Structure 1
């Protein structure tokens, strides 16, 4: 049976005050089952007003799985949003255009790929190109200005390497897809570009391999194998020197891109790691001696958490996981915090064990060094110079958003190549321990994102929690704990105006 993308729109008319807000407010997009919403997002001080969506769409025949804003072309009155669907289609919309509807469909007849979309991203530095991965294990490069073929495309190999091939279409006229990447054997779980120049592309997959490509030259630079099982998530460091991965081996793995080696593995989770992120505001890349920010965090006990669910909205009967979340910031520097203490990277991770872990990767751990063998035969990294400033205040729950939605499963996979990094067992690597490891949910955690004033987590129950950084939240403010907002299935946040920073992966 044919699965089509049909949507009904319900748009909101704005007064002059709202038009002024358009120029400065963040936007957040989320999908709830077969519905997709775009709202204003006002940070940690005011909850989104659920009664006033910027845009609302209800789909028939298929449902959204992921979405991404175009940071290259976004303005206060326009933003391009691509949406991937469970049946393989892709839709391009502009939720801010009120005069006329902007909507284009790609792979509408499913001639290009019939499987579900797992991840999609606008290519940094290219205004009209976006990359899409599917559960089939293929990635396709689309140009928003080109049409899709009216019949299944015929490909010829353009570039080939060990366990990967790049194809081009055999056609007299240029059409989508511009390129097709085949990587390994199975579904690609997630991919991410190294930075605004999109010089490197990293993928993780169900086969447990992290692969790093020179994106423009389409060459495999290196790859790494997990301890065991598949890799579910990855993130680039702000300086693009490190990649952190997590997955089914319950271990955090830090990979040095330039040296092509595993730096260390982190042991703290008791189940699969579902999301990892570098905190760009807490990474110290200079030679100072202090690290400002979270420090040693107290996120409180389960009894101390305040669940403000009275204003929530529910859809459907059952709750299921929020699969991914991505953010973009405007008006703030999405860079490093030049505090103290030499080189130090702050990493966050969440997993199926309901734990939030924060890790500090110091300069001493990044250098090859002698290690100490303990009685348990586990080699521990020497934690020399690891000084963490304990700050007053703690991570507190700002608000919890509630929604009910359908479960969207993410699948993964990739393969091996050139500079092979062997699957180093924990006995051959440094084993890092988390700075903090705290249970913050009752069901498995699926999302972690860092913002300048907070971090955001989401769990299988469907709750999204905004956690204020110490000193960022005014506890006396009446708006600090206002009515909640519920977001389910997937989230994309963007800020429009002077867009200076690339969007991170969800």
Structure 2
């Protein structure tokens, strides 16, 4: 039986007309214009993959998990960093550089982590930046090995092109790959994109005809890539580390320039659950975090071997330093604590993966995001199908806050560039803004007509520390832009705000405190605004605070400044770059919208 041909060719177009323009306050800001519309070729199912038995969405035998197009953007040497707001310290923060990851280095290091040597290689020494140092100081077994010339960097061993693995179906590098890499400007944009079982490496800064031709295309056999991430700490002009998570539970560590890879969690030796999100730990060369559909978060090391894993603590319960297990609000031992620690990051058993394993009940984790200032605010925002937003201190392995959705599941999450706010989108068709420092909901943003699939802040707009621009896309095929300023929020009439209600009715906040400390869980908050001072209180001794659903009658509402249908299919990704807004849909369209010239110029003036 003849093997079906594989669709290989991407298509690039440049639509023109008013329907391909985004007007955002024309008199003030200008018009965003669609420059490139790239349609990724979607490969057919692998010949050995069982065909779908029914196209009926209500069928009892669904196909394998799939995700729309997700993008990882890589700029080797950006011409400029975002405006000063992206680096400004927040109220109560002691760190002056946040979003650029140019954090305070270890005392023995003399240079910033984002500097490079003359040969283009990063100046790795005894340690990484502070975020990684904190992790490694918790367990010396996680400290990278040192050689005569400093930190030893391992590379994947298996050649991707010559691999005979049954996991990879085919690899197609560009005929002139090396030439294109040599001609690529360090200031240009690399895109890594997934669509079903295909994974593509694209150069968005190449000449127009070549943009549609991927630098490399990887086709997997019976595995769909659902998520991926680039290590921005280790990237150089000749090195890019990428990790990918598949619906089979497999993880691929891929080094783009050498075209070599390592397969992690092979044979589901650690977890058989599909991977929904994967991210490098901020400032770490080796460690990355993956969320699985069974509700677990697992920290892996790209250089360690895998081993069969069983929880190290009985029933997965965590035992804090004081020896007290999590308890419920009435003081009884809680058999279902808010955070199970199956293996601690401080475990002495670090000869193999996993480095750490945490479980958040048995609901699917839909997304997570690291805070942008890990040295002073090492938090992780996690959203799941149970309709909750969890804030976790991933260094102390403690759950600090649990916020509920208005209804339905949360689907996406991100942090503001200064780490003060968390943004979520969900099945309630709402974009919700939360304040980490005030520990409350700030505003609900109405405008979508279906589930929200991606949210992101724009660090290149309104960057004065008081104003924020963020965007969202959803299954309604719409792109929405929002401007946020505390002074512009409209609070509905009647009722008390969340801060006022918390101050007046402390008993309405349920928590999981340690015995005898129930009052401390809420007394850490100010009686007037619940404001946290210098970040103190999030990791106090009171345990996790489980917040109430706040009524829409007392929550501020924020209307969008722009709303428009920008694609023909469900949207799946959104990103903001200096000169573009990039969107992607489930059908494979990647679209780059150029910013108005006055917006680009204004950001450049702010940096001068």
TM-score normalised by length of structure 2 = 0.56
Q: Among residues 385, 404, 411, which one is paired with 1:225 in the alignment?
A: 404
Q: Which residue of 1 aligns with 2:244?
A: 83
Q: Which residue of 1 aligns with 2:547?
A: 421
5 Å-filtered alignment, 1:38-437, equals 38-42=201-205, 46=208, 48-51=210-213, 53-97=214-258, 101-149=259-307, 151-156=308-313, 157=316, 159=318, 161=326, 162-168=337-343, 174-195=351-372, 197=374, 199-286=378-465, 343-364=466-487, 372=493, 418-437=544-563
Looking at structure 2, the residues matched to 372 and 48 of structure 1 have their Cα atoms a distance apart, in angstroms, of: 56
Q: Which residue of 1 aligns with 2:39?
A: none
Looking at structure 1, the residues matched to 279 and 181 of structure 2 have their Cα atoms a distance apart, in angstroms, of: 29
Looking at structure 1, the residues matched to 475 and 372 of structure 2 have their Cα atoms a distance apart, in angstroms, of: 29
What do the CA deviations read for 1:106-164 (whole angstroms, capped 9, x no partner)? 11020211111110001011111000011111110001121101x34343257355321
TM-score normalised by length of structure 1 = 0.67
Give the direction of change, closer, same or farther, for the CA distance of 1:23–1:279 in structure 2 (3 Å limit): closer
Instruction: Determine whether 1:32 maps to 2:215.
Output: no
For the residue of structure 2 that corresponds to 1:78, the secondary structure is coil
Bigger RCO of structures 1 and 2 (CA < 8 A, at least 6 apart): 1
| Number of corresponding residues | 370
Give the direction of change, closer, same or farther, for the CA distance of 1:217–1:103 in structure 2 (3 Å limit): same
CA contact (8 A) 1:260 1:419 kept: no
Give the direction of change, closer, same or farther, for the CA distance of 1:35–1:437 in structure 2 (3 Å limit): closer
Looking at structure 2, the residues matched to 63 and 192 of structure 1 have their Cα atoms a distance apart, in angstroms, of: 22
What do the CA deviations read for 1:408-442 (whole angstroms, capped 9, x no partner)? xxxxxxxxx82222111211211221122222233
Looking at structure 1, the residues matched to 349 and 599 of structure 2 have their Cα atoms a distance apart, in angstroms, of: 59
What do the CA deviations read for 1:210-265 (whole angstroms, capped 9, x no partner)? 11111211111212111000001111001000011110111121100011000111
How far off its partner does 1:472 sit? 7.3
Which deviates further from its counterpart, 205-214 or 154-163?
154-163
CA contact (8 A) 1:265 1:430 kept: yes
CA contact (8 A) 1:87 1:115 kept: yes
Give the direction of change, closer, same or farther, for the CA distance of 1:173–1:207 in structure 2 (3 Å limit): closer
What do the CA deviations read for 1:73-122 (whole angstroms, capped 9, x no partner)? 1111111111111110111111211xxx5211111020211111110001
Give the direction of change, closer, same or farther, for the CA distance of 1:454–1:50 in structure 2 (3 Å limit): closer
CA contact (8 A) 2:491 2:554 kept: no
Decide which structure has greater strand share. 1
Give the direction of change, closer, same or farther, for the CA distance of 1:370–1:110 in structure 2 (3 Å limit): closer
Give the direction of change, closer, same or farther, for the CA distance of 1:203–1:473 in structure 2 (3 Å limit): closer
CA contact (8 A) 1:41 1:47 kept: no
Which deviates further from its counterpart, 159-168 or 226-235?
159-168
Looking at structure 1, the residues matched to 549 and 599 of structure 2 have their Cα atoms a distance apart, in angstroms, of: 44
Root-mean-square deviation (Å): 2.9
CA contact (8 A) 2:452 2:472 kept: yes
Instruction: Determine whether 1:454 maps to 2:577.
Output: no
Give the direction of change, closer, same or farther, for the CA distance of 1:471–1:131 in structure 2 (3 Å limit): same
Q: Which residue of 1 aligns with 2:44?
A: none
For the residue of structure 1 that corresponds to 2:391, the secondary structure is strand
